[in-house]
Structure 1
Amino acid sequence: MTDPVPAATVRRNRNALIIVLVLFFGGMLVAGILRFSGWRPHGMQNKGEMLQPYGDLRGYSPTLVDGTPYAWKDSPRTWRIVAMPEGCDGARREACTRLLEDLDKVWRLMGRNADRVHVLWAGAPPVDVAPLREIRLVRVDDTLRAGLPRGKAAGAGDPVWLVDPNGFVVLRYAPGADPGDLRTDLARLLRIN
């Protein structure tokens, strides 16, 4: 015959079980609250402005400046960085040159994934800059203008947009934004896609 378990041991075991259950379900409850409240860890936040609703360039058929069509739908896994600066031949020439150099730097820093990124420059490039092979010059038309949302952030300069492989404009970078932010977001997106 077995001896009955002392009441103190039963209480201690019951308390230990309750603590384990509170820790387990409490952690799940806190995670659910954080998830549905919209909180995200700092490392998971986008650097650019997430566009809601997305811009839609799926029906856009760009033409390069030399008249040849740009194969928009022929590159199924290609992300596109789109810049549409204005006034690059006048007083804003230095700002345009800096933007062009920043986009060139972002493209080069993509390393082995650089072939999955196209930089589209809509408009005339700065006059005194040598053509860069990775930057594709496209003609500006109304479809492109309508598909690139201006967003909330304002500033002096020209914004830059990030277009996903399906043709949706998903992120916008405010004028004068750090090119490292674009590179960080793009590197993260290339890893998951």
Structure 2
Amino acid sequence: MTDASRPGRSPRTILLLILALTLGSMGLAGVLRFSGWRPASLQNKGELLNPYVDLRDHALTLTAGGVYRWQDSPRTWRIVVMPEQCDGVRRAECVRLLVTLDKVWRLLGPQAGRVHVVWAGALPIATEGMPEVRAIHPDARLRAALAAPAEGRGDPVWLIDPYGFVVMRYPSGFDPAGLRSDLARLLKVN
């Protein structure tokens, strides 16, 4: 039996099938892309700000003395917290938030050296074992720049890129794993 006499698909049918599969997969990818669908692993856990808040010319004063500038540490991301108050009943919440941010920092592993936690105001606990924490004096201009919409009690956390732009916001009670995954992804890129 020769190839021509063997029953089956003709080369033209096979070519059309390959073409249909190729164009069909491209069409499906286009529909998913333009419908806004993204894989869960690529979605931000925090709220991406648009437009970004520009803090490049805003120098902060460290509580230990000196000035904290955004561009003094190149390639360094900042996690900024501006709690309303950390005394009395709220002290326990502030301690919990600071300990959570320390865990996020430690889970970044070798990349942790490229992240600072900037805490505005008095620290609720001693931070000798937390090298990433930079305590700054509360600043009305910074507080105004980071004004958040009221979403209930608590303090939001802000993520600032190495150049001094506020790029993401995490509401009070955020999932620390989400902050860590967003930060880990950003540290790989920049």
- State the TM-score, normalizing by the size of structure 1: 0.87
Aligned length: 184
Alignment-derived partner of residue 179 in structure 2: 182
| 1:55–1:149 CA contact under 8 A, matched in 2 | no
Alignment-derived partner of residue 88 in structure 1: 86
Residues 138-184 of structure 1, C-alpha deviations (whole Å, 9 max, x = no match): 12223312332515x72321110111112111111110112121111
- 1:83 partner amino acid: V
1:15 is the counterpart of 2:13: yes
Q: Of 103, 106, 109, which residue of structure 2 is paired with 1:105?
A: 103
Distance 2:152 2:180 in 1: 20
1:24 is the counterpart of 2:22: yes
Aligned-pair identity (%): 59
- 1:146 partner amino acid: A
Shift of 1:95: 0.4
Gaps of 5+ in 1: none
Shift of 1:111: 1.4
- 2:161 partner amino acid: D
1:161 is the counterpart of 2:174: no
Distance 1:83 1:56 in 2: 17
- 1:168 partner amino acid: F
Q: Of 122, 126, 131, which residue of structure 2 is paired with 1:130?
A: 126
Distance 2:37 2:72 in 1: 37
Residues 36-66 of structure 1, C-alpha deviations (whole Å, 9 max, x = no match): 2221001111111111222221221111013
- State the TM-score, normalizing by the size of structure 2: 0.88
| 1:48–1:172 CA contact under 8 A, matched in 2 | yes
Gaps of 5+ in 2: none
SS in structure 2 at match of 1:156: coil
1:70 is the counterpart of 2:68: yes
SS in structure 2 at match of 1:91: helix
Equivalent residue runs for 1:43-62 within 5 Å: 43-62=41-60
- 1:130 partner amino acid: A
Q: Which moved more, 1:25-34 or 1:72-81?
A: 25-34
Distance 2:145 2:21 in 1: 49
Equivalent residue runs for 1:25-40 within 5 Å: 25-40=23-38
Distance 2:147 2:48 in 1: 11
Distance 1:73 1:103 in 2: 22
